[in-house]
Structures are given as C-alpha cells and as structure tokens.
C-alpha cells in the first residue's frame, strides 16, 4: 500500500500533467481525504465529499458487522471521502461492562483545530474516569464536522443501536441552513409584506418563529429517544465568541429602510468610528444607538454600542448587545456567514430540554459568568465558536457534572471534580493557534486577533516557524496553492495532521488571496522569536504581484478580496458590484515608477447629477482624484506618481456616493428581494493598473 507521501507525489505529477486525468486526480484527492476536488469547476462539487448517511442500518460512516456473534460497527469503505469529518476511529466495539456515553454534535464537539490529536470526547471520557464515580466509562465519539440538523436527526434515530447508558447532544451551530432550505414562495411574500410594515424587527420575528418550528420538530426525536429507551440525555448548548469575533465587511453592508436615508446611516457610522478612535465613549454610544434606529439589521451599530457599554463597565448590556448583533445574520447578507447558535436556538433547546427533564449545560451563560468583569473571548474560543483547550476543558467539566447527575442521581459542585489529566503537546497547541489565525483571516477578522494566534503559536512551539514560512510562501505566490512546492512540502512531510490534515489551508480554486493582514501578523510573530522575513516577503510580493507595463487587473481575487465573505446571491455578472460606501483595492509596487489606472465603472442607482466618486491612495486623508457618478458605463484614466507609493503593498480606496434611487416595490422572489434590500452603490467592469513608460 502506498504511503501518504507517495500518494501526494503521485497527485502532484497528475496535476502537472497535460492533459489532466480528472478521474485519477479526484480519486487521489478522495484517498488523501481532500474535501474540495480540484478538477471540478464549482463549489458544489465539494459537497459530495461530505455526504450525509441515509442508510437506516448505519450509524454515521459506520456499518454493522458481526464477530463471534456480537454486533459491532466498522467504517464503510464507500464512505471514505467522508471519514475525515468524523472521529478517526475504524471500529465501534460491542457494548462492554463499562458505562457507555454517546457524544453527538458538530465541529465544536469534534474539537476542530485539534482533531484528530485531541478531541472533546477524549476530554469528557478522561474527566468522567478521573471523577471516581464510575467503574469504567467510555465515550463514543459521534460528532461530525459540518453536521446539519437533518443528519443529526438520523443519528439520534440510530444511536439506540449502540446501547448507550447516556447521550450528550452538543449541537446548534449549523441549523440555520435548514431554515434557508425551508423558505418557500409563500414565506418570501410574507417576508416582503412584513418588511414593508415593520422593517427588520418584523422579519426577524417571522424567521425566528419558523426556525423555532424546525428546532421543535427535531427535538421531538430527541425526546422520543429519551422516553422510549429510558436514556438520560444531556443537552450542551454552544456558546459564541462575542468579544473577539467581529462582523465582516459583507455582513455590514447597509440595507434600505423605508423612508430612511442611507446617507444618514453612513454619516452616523463615520461619526461613531471617529468617536471610537478618539475614545469618546459617550458620543460613541449615542451615535451607535442612532445607527441601530436607522438600520436594526446591521451588526455594526450593536458592536459599537457594546464597546461603549464595556468601557462604562456595563457588562450585561454589552453581552445583550453583542448577542443581538450575532443574530442579525438571520437575514443573511453573506453566503459564507460562519455558524452560530442563535438566541432562538438557545431558548428553544433550553425550554424543550427542561420540560423533558433533561440535564442542560448552557455554555453561553457558563462562559460569560466565568468572566464577571468582562466577556468571554479568546481565552475560551479559537474563532467564532470552536473552543480552545481551556474552553473544551471547562465545557466538559460541566458536562461531566450533568452526566453524573443523570446517571447516578448525584449532584456535585464543579470544584469537586478533579482536573482531567489530558495534556496536549506544545506543537499540537501551536498548530491549532496558527490554523485558527488562518481561519480567522479567511473570514474577515482583524489583524490584532490574527497576531494573537500567530504569537501564541510561536511562543508555544518555535518549531512551527517553518510551517508559517511555508504558508507565507505559497500564499504570496500567484500560482494555485495546490501547485506550490511549499504547500506540497507541508503535506508530504506530514507536518500538519490538524485542520483537515492540512488541506483546509488550500485557497479555493480561482479565489486565491494575498492574505495581507495574516502574513503581516505572521511576520510580526516571527520577528518576536528572532526570525525576520519582512524584506523577503516584500520582494516576493513585488516579484509575483508587482504592477508592470502589461498591467494588473485589480478585480482579480488577490487584489480586491481579503476574505471569503461574499454577498448572498453570488451570481456571476461579469463585473464587480459594490454595496458598501467604499471599496479597497490592493496593488504591489516597487515605488520607482509612476502608475496609471484605467477604471470602467457606473452607478446604476445614483439619484441626482453632480455626485462625485472619490479615490484615495493608502488612506482617506490622501485624496487622489474625484470623478462624476454616471448611470452608464464610463471609462476614466488617472495617474499615481511614484512619490506617493511605498515599496510593497499599497491601497486604492474608492468612495461611492450613497444618495440612491431605491426600488421598494420588488415583485420578484428572494433574489430580487435581496438585490433591492441591499442596494448597489457602484459597479466596476475593469480596474487596471500599469507602470507608465519612463519619460512618458
């Protein structure tokens, strides 16, 4: 049998061959458990590598077998492409004399970022065995990354076949996808009517009521399992990193509000952001409240108001504010909004579990109560909802208390549980933090949180510097990630088993980023341990991305995308649509030559004549030029002298007028409704940067 390194070498050869053998490539990708077949042309292809099980005889990826007259479960060979989403366990043995607990859940319950070297199930089993309350206990890990509510329901139906003494349900983050699937034409018509009468507040209530029905229907299965099999069930409600996880640029695009001015909201946002810079928290709070009054669907107003509350020591008000901010994504602007446990999920789970007499572990409350003078953040979370080692350990101590109460009718205090002996190696923890930095970066988080995770990584294990430098290399190059030698070295050397075996490092095909803030944070972290690669990275950026006489199209992903957040519709127009007051583009210069830019643009919704588009270089204190807004496609050229450039990455900021003509009478279905709800302020067909010939 070929080793992983041999398979990776074979894959590299196939990828470099012309013509490509797509079937052979996909077979090797599946064998290596890569979840995004590179030979396919769209995102939907990756879904086939994470197929929900639908065989009533199976439990997840495990099928029933018999040995010596006893029933056990083994991983089904045909499900191998999905193996990496589940626990790395080939066989679930027959029930022994030990107490058996089943852990059901999503990626948080998998211990994402640590899996497969450390897991939530492993920690829970260790805590329970260390408690001295049981004469042996085992935890069967049935958690799955990207588990949806329907597949979880199938698992609930099937898990009684494993003869559990108790079940832990640790889920609720991925369920919003089911709500989107359930919306029909009648629902969309109701949403439009509700929005016209009561804006976002009414729509949110409508969606939450429909969501509640979905959750209650699922929980009927859970109650049936508990009632029919007499199995005690503990419900663990996920938390969310309210303090550190920020809304992204797509989630912040403004919505039209009946009788309201978009310009007013944009002006208030500018005032609030300036008050934040000035540390004028009184003005910040007042202005943020006005932003919320104008657009209750936008998370930015709540985030700014929460900052004001925090600075005043009003912790509970800040928590409530951020909790509401988190839930604004129920009316989704972004196709790639990250999973979260909405307040309605939390409340329905608590209500249903309490009525059924089940034990409840509410991590949202437990974690926030652990920090009475602040809000729980990066100490317990690695990103939006995935837990750090400290978070996992705290969560499983409380879960163990609930299990002891359910199995032994014995109530203990948290301080009576001894600490789990499970300890991670520095290299495992370091890799988790660096992968978390990547994950945070790819979904729009700010440089300081990226630096925190990079710094933690190098402090835990300076040896991770080599992996960080390899990542910097393949991320900075224009070549597709999977074809870069530095990526191949990471995979073939087996330097990383976490983060989906390293394959989650891949940039999606055709959407490569320069990862500017992540790489800058990585450079800073490396400098702190005496490794300075700043000049090397600058030269590599110029070599790979530098503006030249042939020109660089700034609509390509490395220059206009900083994350994988995209607007909900995601349709291909052949041009860029902008729904924010400003749009930033990145270009790389050697700072020796003057540059020229050719912009092809239009403003389809602008309201009146004599509105101007402003173009800045580097920041909004440096106005480069301004041009007239136009309804029709217009070509405009402008220059940028070398004296205004810096060597390396530069920014071009385009600010759009927001006095728009809005269509409030959409008759179409969901796509047209969203198009009008989140209006386009500008469109760009092309933005090309070139060096000007010397002496021009």
Q: How confident is the model at residue 213 (pLDDT cuts 50, 70, 90)?
A: very high
Yes or no: say if 241 and 366 are a contact pair by the CB < 8 Å rule.
no
Look at residue 56 and tell me whether its pLDDT is greater than 80.
no
The predicted model gives 432-456 an average pLDDT of: 97
Mean pLDDT, residues 312-331 taken together: 95
Residue 351 has pLDDT above 90, yes or no: yes
Average the pLDDT over 377-402 and give the result.
97
Give residue 183's pLDDT: 85
Contact criterion met (CB below 8 Å) for 437 and 138: no
Q: How many helices (H) and strands (E) does the chain have?
A: 23, 17
Q: Which helix (H) or strand (E) holds 291?
A: helix 281-294
- For β-strands 648-655 and 582-589, DSSP reports them as antiparallel
The proportion of the chain whose per-residue pLDDT surpasses 70, expressed as a percent, equals 89
Phi, psi of 610 (to 5 degrees): 60, 35
- Please say if the pLDDT value at position 259 is more than 70: no
| pLDDT for the residue numbered 574 | 86
3-state secondary structure 103-123: EEECHHHHCCCCCCCCCHHHH
For tokens 């974690």, the residue is 367
| CATH superfamily of this structure's domain 552-691 | Galactose-binding domain-like (2.60.120.260)
Peptide bond into 116 cis (omega under 30): yes
Mean pLDDT (the chain) is 89
Q: Are 613 and 603 in contact (CB under 8 A)?
A: yes
In 3-state terms, what secondary structure has residue 635?
strand
Identify the CA nearest to 12 among candidates 23, 28, 1: 28
Tokens found for residue 295: 């657009």
pLDDT computed for residue 43 by the predictor:
34
pLDDT the model gives residue 334: 81
Say which residue the tokens 């949806």 belong to.
148
Superfamily of domain 95-242+338-424: SGNH hydrolase (3.40.50.1110)
- Name the pLDDT band for 427 (thresholds 50, 70, 90): very high
User: Which CATH number, 1.20.58.1180, 1.25.40.10, 3.30.1300.10, 3.40.50.12280, labels domain 262-330?
Assistant: 1.25.40.10
Output 184 or 546, whichever has higher pLDDT: 546
Residue 38 pLDDT > 70 = no
Say how far apart CA 218 and CA 235 lie, in whole Å: 13
Q: How many CA atoms lie within 13 A of 592 on its CB side?
A: 6
| pLDDT in the model for residue 256 | 77
254 CA to centre of own chain: 21
Does 332 have pLDDT greater than 90?
A: no
Residue-wise pLDDT for 141-180, tens only, equals 999 999 999 999 999 999 999 999 999 999 999 999 999 8
Report the distance separating Cα 428 and Cα 433, nearest Å.
9
Which value, in Å, is the radius of gyration of the alpha carbons in the chain?
A: 26
Whether 49 has a pLDDT exceeding 70, the answer reads no
pLDDT score of 247 more than 90: yes
Give the model's pLDDT for residue 44.
30
Place of tokens 């679930």: 92
Three-state DSSP state, 628: strand
The pLDDT, as a whole number, for residue 51 is: 64
- Is the sign of the CA dihedral 479, 484, 486, 487 positive or negative? positive
Per-residue pLDDT of 80-90, as tens digits, reads 989 989 999 99
* Three-state DSSP string of 403-415: HHHHHHCCCCCHH
pLDDT of residue 39: 35
Q: What pLDDT is attached to residue 70?
A: 93
Q: With bands split at pLDDT 50, 70 and 90, how would you rate the model's confidence at 651?
A: very high
Task: Give yes or no for a contact between 67 and 536, defined as CB atoms under 8 angstroms apart.
Answer: no
pTM: 0.91
Q: Which of 102-111, 261-270, 670-679 has the weakest average pLDDT? A: 670-679
| Sign, Cα dihedral of 239, 245, 248, 253 | positive
Burial of residue 282 (number of CB atoms within 10 Å: 0-12, 13-18, 19+): exposed
Question: For position 367, what pLDDT does the model report?
Answer: 96
For 613, list phi and psi in degrees, rounded to 5. Answer: -95, 130
Return the domain boundaries, the chain: 1-78, 95-242+338-424, 262-330, 427-544, 552-691
- The contacts of residue 124 (CB under 8 Å, 6+ apart) are 101, 103, 139, 168, 396, 399, 400
Give the pLDDT score at 269.
94
Residue 666 confidence class, pLDDT cut points 50, 70, 90: low
Per-residue pLDDT tens over the stretch 524-560: 999 999 999 999 999 999 999 999 999 999 999 999 9
Question: Which one of 46-55, 204-213, 605-614 scores highest in mean pLDDT?
Answer: 204-213
């Amino acid at each position: 049998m070929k080793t992983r390194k041999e398979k990776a070498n074979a894959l590299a050869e196939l990828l470099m061959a012309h013509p490509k053998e797509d079937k052979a490539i996909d077979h090797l990708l599946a064998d290596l458990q890569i979840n995004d077949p590179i030979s396919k042309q769209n995102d939907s292809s990756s879904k086939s590598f994470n197929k929900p099980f639908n065989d009533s005889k199976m439990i997840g990826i495990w099928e029933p077998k018999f040995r010596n007259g006893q029933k056990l479960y083994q991983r089904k060979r045909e499900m191998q492409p999905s193996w990496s989403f589940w626990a790395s366990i080939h066989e679930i043995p027959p029930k022994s004399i030990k107490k058996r607990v089943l852990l059901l859940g999503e990626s948080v319950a998998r211990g994402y970022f640590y899996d497969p070297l450390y897991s939530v199930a492993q920690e829970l089993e260790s805590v329970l065995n260390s408690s001295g309350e049981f004469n042996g206990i085992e935890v069967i890990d049935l958690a799955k990354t990207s588990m949806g509510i329907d597949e979880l329901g199938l698992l609930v139906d099937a898990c009684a076949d494993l003869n559990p003494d108790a079940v832990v349900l640790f889920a609720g983050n991925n369920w919003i996808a089911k709500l989107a699937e359930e919306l029909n034409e009648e629902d969309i018509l109701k949403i439009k009517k509700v929005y016209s009468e009561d804006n976002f507040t009414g729509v949110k209530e409508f969606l939450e009521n429909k969501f509640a029905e979905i959750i209650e229907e699922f929980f009927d299965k859970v109650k049936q399992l508990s009632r029919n099999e007499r199995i005690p069930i503990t419900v663990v409600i996920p938390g969310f990193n309210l303090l550190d996880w920020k809304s992204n640029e797509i989630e912040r695009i403004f919505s039209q509000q009946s009788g309201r001015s978009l310009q007013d909201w944009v002006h208030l946002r500018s005032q609030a952001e300036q008050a934040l810079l000035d540390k004028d928290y009184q003005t910040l709070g007042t202005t943020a409240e006005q932003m919320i009054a104008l657009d209750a669907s936008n998370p930015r107003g709540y985030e700014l108001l929460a900052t004001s509350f925090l600075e005043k020591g009003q912790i509970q008000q800040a928590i409530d504010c951020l909790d509401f901010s988190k839930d604004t994504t129920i009316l989704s602007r972004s196709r790639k909004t990250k999973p979260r446990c909405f307040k309605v999920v939390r409340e329905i789970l608590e209500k249903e579990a309490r009525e059924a007499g089940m034990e409840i572990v509410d991590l949202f409350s437990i974690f926030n109560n652990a920090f009475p003078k602040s809000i729980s953040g990066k100490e317990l979370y690695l990103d939006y909802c995935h837990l750090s080692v400290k978070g996992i350990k705290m969560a499983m101590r409380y879960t163990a208390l609930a299990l002891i109460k359910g199995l032994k009718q014995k109530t203990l205090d948290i301080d009576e549980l001894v600490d789990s002996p499970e300890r991670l190696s520095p290299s495992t923890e370091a890799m988790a933090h660096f992968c978390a930095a990547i994950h945070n970066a790819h979904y729009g988080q700010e440089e300081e949180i990226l630096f925190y995770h990079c710094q933690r990584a190098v402090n835990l294990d300076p040896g991770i510097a080599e992996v960080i430098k390899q990542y910097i290399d393949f991320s900075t190059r224009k070549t597709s990630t999977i074809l870069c030698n530095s990526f191949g070295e990471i995979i073939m050397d087996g330097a990383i088993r976490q983060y989906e075996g390293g394959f989650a490092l891949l940039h999606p095909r055709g959407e490569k980023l320069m990862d500017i803030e992540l790489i800058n944070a990585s450079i800073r972290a490396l400098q702190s341990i005496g490794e300075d690669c700043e000049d090397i990275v600058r030269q590599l950026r110029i070599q790979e991305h530098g503006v030249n006489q042939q020109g660089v199209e700034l609509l390509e992903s490395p220059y206009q995308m900083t994350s994988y957040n995209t607007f909900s519709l995601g349709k291909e127009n052949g041009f860029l649509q902008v729904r924010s007051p400003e749009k930033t583009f990145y270009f790389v210069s050697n700072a020796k030559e003057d540059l020229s830019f050719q912009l092809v643009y239009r403003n389809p919704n602008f309201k009146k004549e004599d509105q101007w588009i402003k173009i800045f270089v580097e920041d909004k204190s440096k106005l480069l030029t301004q041009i007239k807004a136009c309804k029709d496609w217009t070509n405009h050229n402008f220059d940028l002298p070398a004296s205004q450039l810096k060597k390396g990455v530069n920014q071009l900021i385009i600010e759009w007028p927001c006095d728009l003509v809005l269509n409030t009478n959409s008759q179409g279905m969901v796509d047209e409704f969203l198009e009008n709800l989140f209006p386009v302020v500008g469109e760009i067909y092309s933005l090309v940067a070139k060096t000007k010939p010397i002496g021009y």
